[in-house]
Amino acid sequence: MLKPAIEEPQARGGSGPEGRLVPALAWAVGGGAVVLTLALALYVLYVLAAALGAWWAGTPPQAMTGLASAPLYRNFAALFLASFLALFVAREIGVGTR
């Protein structure tokens, strides 16, 4: 007697592509957040060092107000998205080759 090709439905475990998507997205979001946090910390250190250097040089306080007022949210968003995409692709390639 012939057996049917599909005896029972496959469980949604870690074997299918749906089971690998959520961990890959979680790694990518976490890694993007880490890269973004490091970039923000380095930017804060840069602003503090520039302000301290300007203060030591005797620059008036009015000239130092432009240090932290640059709109860098697009740059930080692009950095997050680039790191997210790089980690997501690397994770998918790494999981796919196993």
Q: Convert the pLDDT of each residue in 31-88 to its tens digit.
A: 999 999 999 999 889 888 888 888 888 877 776 676 666 678 889 999 999 999 999 9
Domain contains 11? no
41 part of a folded domain = yes
> Quick check: is 16 in a domain?
no
Judged against a pLDDT cut of 60, whether residue 98 lies above it is answered with no
In a domain, 62, yes or no: yes
DSSP string for residues in 61-84: GGGGGGSS-S--HHHHHHHHHHHH
Domain interval for residue 81: 21-96
8 located within any domain:
no
With respect to residue 2, please indicate whether it lies within any of the assigned structural domains: no
Asked if residue 51 belongs to a domain, the reply is: yes
In the chain, what's the furthest Cα-to-Cα distance?
Answer: 93
In a domain, 3, yes or no: no
